[in-house]
Amino acid sequence: MVSHPVPAFRFRPLLTAILLTAFVACSHTGGGESTSTGGSTGRGGSGGPTGNGGSQAGGASSGGSNASNGGTSGAGGVTGNGGVTATGGATDAGGAKVTGGTAATGGTTGTGGATATGTGAATGAGGATGGAFSTGGTKGMGGAPATGGAIGTGGATGTGGAAGTGGAAKTGGTTSLGGTTGAGGVAGTGGASRTGGSAGGFSASYFIGADVTDQEVAPDATRANLLTILKSHGFNFIRLRTFVDPKASDGYDQTNGYDDIVHTVAFGKQVKDAGMGLLVDFHYSDNWADPGKQCVPVAWQGYTTIANLATAVHDYTKDAITKLIAGGARPDMVQIGNEETPGILIHVCDSGGLPLAGNAGYDKVNGALYLWSVTDNSAPPGGAGGPTAGGWTNLGQLLNAAAKGVKDVDTGIKIALHLDRCNDTASSRNFITNAQAKSVPFDVFGESCYTGTQGQPADMQATITSLASSFPSVKFMAAEYSGSQRAVNDIFYNLPNDQGIGTFNWEPTTQGAWNTGHDLLRLSGTTYTAQPDLAFYDTMKVDYASRL
């Protein structure tokens, strides 16, 4: 096993202070959980002002559609997985067996046109939405090589029309007579933006997830064993982070390059092969990105305009999504930024991934909403030639570029934003309002919800409930949490109209300051030993069965 680097800077100063005090007990409906202090490794401080660049009204988020465009085996898969009659097994608290509905099909067998004759194939439906969070069916390819008709017949040498494309109801020609052996659409592609995806879609309306990127260093067989164990306890979704170039001079792992896109594809394929959902968390940094540091990748530090930086974001994202899909690791959802409370692409960092001190620690072209770094523990000194925050004008452009990079490849992948303000309603509302005003097409809003760092479950519930009421078209998740296992899940699961779609327990397979006494599994040889808190998930597996 390769030793995974664990930089000394990974622990938040705020988190350290919290850990020096006594833990505060937290009561919740799940019963029996003690609270743990929060924070995730590599955060380097979650402080700084909460200013989010002013509030702007308007703009509704516009998610991507799940309609698959054509293809012989109708994209979106056979019966587009609307939830496989989740039975819930045992009885729920009310005593009645939770049936999860009547085998929601997510659309009858997505048509896509079975060898459409001469019309280029009707628009393959790909299944409806398959549930509140359906992203496609099994192996929906958005159009295999749809031929748009079997060697177009309209004439002696059967023309079938001019290159019907097999998607978007293009008509391969109206049985044109004669012509030069028109083929009714040359291997119609069903559209460049596939919604059915590869290696299966994910259709549960709630996910119990974990971020286990730290296990990327383990052998394939050990990781496969981990996924099997997690599934047996109710987990159905995995979150993996990825860095732009971890081997760069400021990178996370300058020797082996762990957490680059190559490693993410390999682990992601195992996740999809295990039948689990996959979220890929783009940090847009060579190292950890969080409220205290958002390091501009070394390769991008030479750009002198926000347009050039946005192009780099788009091209990198598009390339990464393309590689993930080609490698059998199509993500069901991506985060375009990690704990992006201060914005993204802000700092110039040293070899340890920490911002340089003072003005030197800021890139002049940035997506900052405010200027602050964990190194200075303050704003920069400024002065003549000092840095300025790009504000929502720049951040909106960068986030739109990232989203477009995803949608240019696959319109069915969900897009999420992520802050660390699970107990800060005003800052979270302000961020969502501005993102919508800038027409950032996100579907999901995630928060870090560590007990202690982000308050107690009651604080989190007040924030999330208020946000869900204010933004009824947005879905919500705990992008990271640890401790108060049942309480945090109940907050999101119980949001009205299924607006809460799930949670991700952060690195539950490692013992750290973020989960003291609340890790779930410990590696022993090639397998993992269950810890006491894992029992909460066995209960949730039953209680939440109708949506899993």
Q: pLDDT of 380-409, one tens digit each?
A: 998 888 999 999 999 999 999 999 999 999
Structure tokens at 51: 């200013």
Per-residue pLDDT band for 418 (boundaries 50, 70, 90) equals very high
What are the boundaries of each domain within the chain? 8-52+198-547, 72-128+141-189
Distance of CA 124 to the CA centre of its chain: 26
Average pLDDT over residues 225-233: 97
CA–CA separation, 292 and 346 (whole Å) = 10
Would you mind telling me the total number of residues written for the chain in this entry? 548
DSSP state of 355: B
Structure tokens at 544: 């939440």
Query: pLDDT value at position 295?
Result: 98
CA–CA separation, 371 and 357 (whole Å) = 12
CA–CA separation, 65 and 530 (whole Å) = 39
DSSP line for 235-290: --EEEEEE-S-TTSTT-S-TTT-TTSHHHHHHHHHHHHHTT-EEEEEE-SSSS--B
Query: pLDDT value at position 265?
Result: 98
Greater pLDDT, 480 or 74: 480
Structure tokens at 466: 């208020």
> Is 60 in contact with 180 (CB distance < 8 Å)?
no
Q: Which residue in 153, 264, 170, 145 sits closest to 213, CA to CA?
A: 264
3-state class (DSSP) for residue 10: helix
Q: 137-151, 190-204, 350-364, 438-452 — which is least confidently predicted?
A: 137-151
Average pLDDT over residues 208-225: 97
Share of the chain above pLDDT 90, in %: 61
Per-residue pLDDT band for 201 (boundaries 50, 70, 90) equals low
Query: pLDDT value at position 84?
Result: 32
Q: 42-56, 144-158, 197-211, 378-392 — which is least confidently predicted?
A: 144-158
Radius of gyration of the chain (CA): 24
Interval 321-380: pLDDT, tens: 999 999 999 999 999 999 999 999 999 999 999 999 999 999 999 999 999 999 999 999
- Bridge partner residues of 529 (DSSP): 522
DSSP state of 447: E
Residue 29 has pLDDT above 90, yes or no: no
Of these ranges, 85-94, 187-196, 358-367, the one predicted with the greatest mean pLDDT is 358-367
Q: 30-44, 271-285, 330-344, 464-478 — which is least confidently predicted?
A: 30-44
Average pLDDT over residues 57-76: 33
Computed over every residue of the chain, the mean pLDDT equals 74
Query: pLDDT value at position 204?
Result: 85
The packing angle between helices 306-326 and 261-273, to 10°, is 40
Q: What is the CATH number of domain 8-52+198-547?
A: 3.20.20.80
Residue 509 has pLDDT above 80, yes or no: yes
Residue 284 has pLDDT above 70, yes or no: yes
